[in-house]
Chain A
Amino acid sequence: MSTDTATKTTQPSVGDYLKKNIREYGLLVALVVIMIFFQVITNGVLFRPVNITNLVLQNSFIVIMALGMLLIIVAGHIDLSVGSIVAFIGAISAIMLVKWGVPAIIVVPACILVGALMGAAQGYWVAYQKIPSFIVTLAGMLVFRGMTYVVLGGRPVGPFPKDFQILSTGFVPDLLPLTDPATSLIKNYFALVMIILLVVYAVYAGLRERRMNALHETENEPFTFFAVQMAIIGAVAVFLGFQLATYRGLPNVLVIMGVLIALYTFVTTRTTIGRRIYAMGGNEKAAKLSGINTERLTFFTFVNMGALAALAGMIIAARLNSATPKAGVGFELDVIAACFIGGASASGGVGKITGAVIGAFIMGVMNNGMSIMGIGIDYQQLIKGLVLLAAVFFDVYNKNKG
């Protein structure tokens, strides 16, 4: 093959590229449109600094669990137990912290380990005994919820010590105290500078990646798409960073969430383990015959899900400042919905971390916006249900047309 034809065959045309990735761009556009819609209809309340902070706090645990759920769904499974794991971890963290007085620095890793074990307990039946994950995790959902009641004795336990609460209600301290927060508009320069640095780095890394791709004749996104996407994401990020900086700065959970999103995006797109999960979800038998240990891989996706659900459980408990037996009821459905809105396929093998994250934020912004508008929980559910159906219909429609 000559260099000439190689270049031609690896560079898609703008039209082709749009067709292939319409889902992804459509999702981003949908999020922006929904944000602007609620910003207008709530007379600017949506993007008030305090509300943005709330948005992040309210949705962080859904996003964190969606990272694990996406892997599960891509692998061709489902996990209905995460809401109950959230409750159980909240309960045991409360017992350890409040009743036993164990320091938070030990409780946090211990709870994540327990979550991983709960995931392992389910993963074993799914991976090695070949019981459908729907059934195993439905059982898990009931068992873990029951265990929560047993541990808490049916009563809420709290409040939590301060050093545990900062996990979700704390902010990254201002490491760049340029101005006096009492008088200045921008109260936390560190937050703003960090966000701007991140955006600059993202653009730089993106450009470097494109240059390397061009050098090696690998597929590149058309430049216009890259530029527009970067411009939108950068503008939104800087705007949000500015708003946060005028309030109390970067919430701790935002940092945790950001690091995890970056980590899981890397794992799914660039590592062998990510590739194997996609292959397994796409065709388990072919993956197995290619020498992939599909049982072990399935097992670990559930272990991973358990650990992330445990982290989410602690963030929720710390935020509510109490562990209740009813914590996390119905969360599994929000998490699963986020993945499907984000373009994951129910039959496995398809789905992206960025999609699931955007899906979670679409749900989050809608929840938040409708609450500000004073729409009742009844209509909120109805509208969210229709959005889920519309998003998946869009997928199916695109597929049939293509």
Chain B
Amino acid sequence: MSKTLLEMRGITKTFPGVKALDNVNLKVREGEIHALVGENGAGKSTLMKVLSGVYPAGSYEGEIHFDGEVRRFSTISDSEHLGIIIIHQELALVPLLSIAENIFLGNEVATNGIIDWKLAFRRTQELLNKVGLKEPPGTLITDIGVGKQQLVEIAKALSKKVRLLILDEPTASLNEKDSDALLKLLTEFRAQGMTSIIISHKLNEIKKVADQITILRDGGTVETLDCHNEDISEDRIIKGMVGRAMEDRYPAREPKIGETLLEVKNWNVFHQHHRDRQFLHDVSFNVRAGEVVGIAGLMGAGRTETAMSIFGKSWGHKITGDVLMRGKPVDVSTIQKAIKAGLAYVTEDRKHLGLVLINNIMHNTTLANLKGVSNATVIDNHQEAKVAAGYRSKLRIRSHSIYQEAVNLSGGNQQKVVLSKWLFTNPEVLILDEPTRGIDVGAKFEIYTIINQLAAEGKGILMISSEMPELLGTCDRIYVMNEGRIVAELSKAEASQESIMRAIMRSGEKH
């Protein structure tokens, strides 16, 4: 049995009016991968902020033991000094600086303020070799993908003599391949004796790599599971997170499928920025009334681009092809026209593209259909409040009122506000792009329930998701995309994780 590297004992942290952490205990053994799971708001991030010194010693109760001694960190640099390094979900890299510059940012290889670039580049190269990133140290961050950026962050951590590496949702924005590579890297580090804490919503990944799993719920420790003593199933983890067994993660539905609503034919689109590169090739698909249709694929397959190029040509250029609604060609050349044609696109990036965060729930709800609450451009306050209150109760948005600012809502409730906005435009077909990204298990179930209700009302749903179990659990039919092409169409009976992956792999061989 290896020794304990970190022990957090009886941590209690209160904010005005809320107890964010209540007597939390966490024990991490040296050389293990320790997973920290819990619903949004369970206290994971707060706990890590206590650990790293963002919340200084004295602002919380309880003790932190690291390396056998009680530690009191008053700033982040105190904890970094001991080798406790956090990599946050939103990466903290400067896009227009090179990999080397980023790695040594604030910690430059310099004498008397003059940087020794040769040495810096050589050290960067060594670090990049360790994390398996094949990019020259002079490459700008903006020119490499998110997956590689994540590796740069890890290399940066390694440059600081890391003892305990903490990764907050490291794979949230990575595709399956990059995620696997990252997890493999973590296991290699473990073999070399490094300790890491991984915070994640992706239970299948946690199952793959974790030695121990600590579950938080409502600011308290529920339990710590040892993956070596027993085989921990995902359902077992979920049970701990939500406090009850979730018999079925996907609510049941009897599909009642009607006529074809949306039909897209021979959709060809060139890249938004690299203007001579064709990005989508002859994409054709359809969505019928009452049907939930999925689009599966790896990141970069062209799913979001397909949706956005159809929705008012908001992505790409030189767009050709036909869009039909109920068999009749429609003009979707601007977003206004696309909305009028009966389309709605619920973005994958609700914070940047979906919500006006500083506005309240009501204003966000009516934004796409202000006409619906106004007479001759004058807004009817009462009608607007009624509409917003209606969606708030229908979609069960948890907030103290419709006047609460969107920025103060949890991820799941923000997602429901974005959904409200689009439902109020009364669309016939809703395109949902990663509708459950970054939201907790309980809220996911609610979103699925809403999707089912909409389908039952006769709307067509096109759902883009990177989580295959989610597509398999909710969709009646799944298209598989790869490299800008639709490479397979699978019925519910044919679809499985294996058949989807097989379709992707086979198409990759052809090109």
Cα of A364 to Cα of B379 in the assembled complex, Å: 34
A-B contact pairs, 26 of them (CB 8 A): A10-B385, A10-B401, A12-B403, A218-B381, A219-B401, A219-B403, A270-B378, A270-B381, A271-B378, A272-B378, A275-B370, A278-B359, A279-B356, A282-B357, A283-B357, A286-B353, A287-B367, A288-B314, A290-B335, A290-B367, A290-B368, A291-B312, A291-B339, A292-B367, A349-B358, A350-B358
Q: Is B352's CB under 8 angstroms from A286's CB?
A: yes
Cα of A288 to Cα of B367 in the assembled complex, Å: 10
Chain B nearest CB: distance from A324 CB in Å? 40
Answer yes or no: B52 CB below 8 A from chain A CBs. Answer: no
When distances are taken between beta carbons in the complex, the residues of chain A under 8 Å from B386 are: 216
Cα of A129 to Cα of B265 in the assembled complex, Å: 33
Q: Is B377's CB under 8 angstroms from A290's CB?
A: no
Chain A nearest CB: distance from B369 CB in Å? 8
Answer yes or no: B208 CB below 8 A from chain A CBs. Answer: no
Answer yes or no: B354 CB below 8 A from chain A CBs. Answer: yes
Chain A nearest CB: distance from B277 CB in Å? 23
Q: Is B367's CB under 8 angstroms from A279's CB?
A: yes
Answer yes or no: A289 CB below 8 A from chain B CBs. Answer: yes
CB within 8 A of A272: which of B311, B370, B401?
B370
Answer yes or no: B491 CB below 8 A from chain A CBs. Answer: no
Q: Is A290's CB under 8 angstroms from B421's CB?
A: yes
Answer yes or no: A1 CB below 8 A from chain B CBs. Answer: yes
B363-396 with Cβ < 8 A to chain A: 363, 367-368, 370-371, 374, 377-379, 381-382, 385-386, 389, 392-393
Chain B nearest CB: distance from A5 CB in Å? 9
Chain B nearest CB: distance from A69 CB in Å? 20
Which residue on chain A has the smallest CB distance to residue B370? A272
Answer yes or no: B347 CB below 8 A from chain A CBs. Answer: yes
Cα of A216 to Cα of B352 in the assembled complex, Å: 33
Most buried by A among B367, B382, B403: B367
Number of A-B contacts (CB under 8 A): 101
Cα of A217 to Cα of B381 in the assembled complex, Å: 11
B410-467 with Cβ < 8 A to chain A: 421
Chain A nearest CB: distance from B65 CB in Å? 33
When distances are taken between beta carbons in the complex, the residues of chain A under 8 Å from B357 are: 282-283
Answer yes or no: A197 CB below 8 A from chain B CBs. Answer: no
Chain B nearest CB: distance from A188 CB in Å? 35
Answer yes or no: B121 CB below 8 A from chain A CBs. Answer: no
Known contacts A286-B353, A289-B353; can you find 4 more A-B pairs with CB under 8 A?
A10-B402, A216-B385, A270-B378, A275-B379
Pairs A-B, 5 closest by C-beta atoms = A216-B382, A282-B356, A290-B368, A1-B393, A272-B370
Cα of A219 to Cα of B378 in the assembled complex, Å: 18
Q: Is B370's CB under 8 angstroms from A218's CB?
A: no
One digit per residue, 1 when the CB lies within 8 angstroms of any chain A CB and 0 when it does not, for chain B 328-345 equals 000000111011000001
Tell me the A residues contacting B by CB distance below 8 Å.
1, 6, 9-10, 12, 212-213, 215-219, 270-273, 275-276, 278-279, 282-283, 285-293, 349-350
Cα of A327 to Cα of B494 in the assembled complex, Å: 77
Answer yes or no: B3 CB below 8 A from chain A CBs. Answer: no
Answer yes or no: B400 CB below 8 A from chain A CBs. Answer: yes
When distances are taken between beta carbons in the complex, the residues of chain A under 8 Å from B358 are: 282-283, 349-350
Q: Is B379's CB under 8 angstroms from A270's CB?
A: yes
Answer yes or no: B355 CB below 8 A from chain A CBs. Answer: yes
Cα of A217 to Cα of B336 in the assembled complex, Å: 32
Q: Is A273's CB under 8 angstroms from B377's CB?
A: yes
Contacts A272-B371, A349-B358; is A283 near B352 (CB within 8 Å)? yes
CB within 8 A of A289: which of B335, B359, B379, B382?
B335
Q: Is B401's CB under 8 angstroms from A291's CB?
A: no
Chain A nearest CB: distance from B104 CB in Å? 31
Q: Is A285's CB under 8 angstroms from B400's CB?
A: no
Which residue on chain A has the smallest CB distance to residue B337? A291
Q: Is B381's CB under 8 angstroms from A285's CB?
A: no
Contacts A273-B377, A275-B379, A291-B335; is A285 near B401 (CB within 8 Å)? no
Cα of A140 to Cα of B421 in the assembled complex, Å: 39
Cα of A349 to Cα of B336 in the assembled complex, Å: 22
Q: Is B356's CB under 8 angstroms from A286's CB?
A: yes
Q: Is A285's CB under 8 angstroms from B352's CB?
A: yes
Which residue on chain A has the smallest CB distance to residue B367? A290
When distances are taken between beta carbons in the complex, the residues of chain B under 8 Å from A288 are: 314, 335
Q: Is A287's CB under 8 angstroms from B356's CB?
A: yes
CB within 8 A of B370: which of A6, A276, A286, A350?
A276
When distances are taken between beta carbons in the complex, the residues of chain B under 8 Å from A293 are: 334, 336
Most buried by B among A10, A212, A218: A218
When distances are taken between beta carbons in the complex, the residues of chain A under 8 Å from B382 are: 212-213, 215-216, 218
Cα of A272 to Cα of B75 in the assembled complex, Å: 47
Q: Is A218's CB under 8 angstroms from B385's CB?
A: yes
Which residue on chain B has the smallest CB distance to residue A217? B385
Contacts A275-B379, A282-B357, A349-B358; is A289 near B314 (CB within 8 Å)? yes
